[in-house]
A and B are shown apart, each in its own frame.
Chain A
Amino acid sequence: MVDWRDVEMNREKSFVNKLCTYLVFAGPATFAFITVIILPFLFGIYLTFTDWNGISSTHSFIGFENYLSVFKDKTFFNSFLLTLKYVFFTVILTNVIAFLLAFILTSGVKGQNFFRSGFFTPNLIGGVLLGYIWQFIFSNVLVYIGENLNLPIFSSSWLSHPDKAFWTLVIVGVWQYSGYMMIIYISGLMNVPKDIIEAASIDGAGSFRKLINVTLPMMIPSFTVCIFLSLQRTFMVYDVNLALTKGGPFKSTELISMTVYNKAFLSQDYGVGQAQAFFLFLIVAIITLVQVYFSKKMEVEA
């Protein structure tokens, strides 16, 4: 005979047990996550419906007006397009260069460990510092070289031309991220099972065939991670933008994060700034989720 009371008690006990285990291991993290991420996020959404200026103690409720002004704002739209352009070039260049570096540095060249750490180093320097270093390079070092060697392309600072200033951002972004992505690609390359490569060799595949038909498909998870990371980082970039071009010349290189920040804090229009930030959040979430969904579909098992 089954004692039902016993079963009931066991079930209850197991729920309490589970809760205890959860609280012990994930409780503090959950608490921190809720207070530091969830609550500010919800409060931020609330603020998009107000006319708060970022500092006063009072604000009034104005409905969807802020969202309307986001869609009417030409500066915001232009900055968004510029960011898309920046993301497009930076993500592609970063991943291509990172993969090539990883491929070369796993093929057994001399001193590959040295090169690996060398390429990874830019990632360890903070964005602001890195921006200042490159600012010096673009507006002093290159100009000096250009003047002395008569290279017209470097004769004036790249940072004072809107188009060139945009490319400085891309160059610095690629330089900063490709080392990090390279490490992920290296681990991906090393995890491709040796036996299937060997099998392909026996079947008579050349090294290019092996790369295209065996190595690359096995590395889809690395691509998923790297593209996700670089997408998300480039959409949110602020520090390099601030230190390198400060949005200039004349606001022509203001990426989206900086536009949002300036709207909220410089123009003292916190509600609109917050609405822009929420819009940005939606876009980035959609793009990255779509990307992860499709790259997951492409993954194969050996």
Chain B
Amino acid sequence: MRFTVAFARAVATPASGWCSACVDVLDVSGAGITMMSGGQTGPLCVSSKRMANLEDLQFTMGEGPCRDAYASGRPVHAPRFDAGIFARWPAFVEQARDSGIGGVFAYPMSSNGAKIGVLTLYQDLEGELTSGQHQDSRVMAGVLAETMLSMQDNAPLGVLADGLQDAVAYRAEIHQASGMVSIQLQVPVAEALVRIRAHAFASGIPVGAVAAEIVARRLRLSDDRQELAEGV
């Protein structure tokens, strides 16, 4: 009952508030919701800046619980960052530890086999979720997926529903920067994105911040293929 009431409140709020609602309802330290479309991803919301950086890192590095949960279609549990988990996601684990995260749990958001995205839950302390939390998280991921599909059902074809615009808005600068870099370096947009990610990784700056610099014309990526070779 507690879950139902809290959930009703969660979906009644704009999508940007879903993660805070997940934190309350599921009793975890942090949450992030990411929409996936092939290789393209966009966080719809995060419960705090820490989670924003961690979701961002998974996008930059192409590794982490989010991607694994999406690819396998099954929940991914990392109640503590042991050697096995570290070997799987070295960069993610390093930053997660630095941010004071003890464990992470990712749930694929799907409806009747249609994969929409991933709900990632972060815990400050190490340890498994209770079976109740686990059950509720699975239900929450499914209901959020259905809610997103229903929102999109009411939008004109080809136009992202108003409530889901945040998934792109957050990344808008990254996509704009990709377009700019593709002109600067005369490379396809997809390659431009790889160059931006490589630069972010090499300089230890979040990919969003690099993109913001490019869009503000304070940064131009040099046409140096070396960077790509070293970076990724």
Instruction: Answer whether A and B are interacting partners.
Output: no
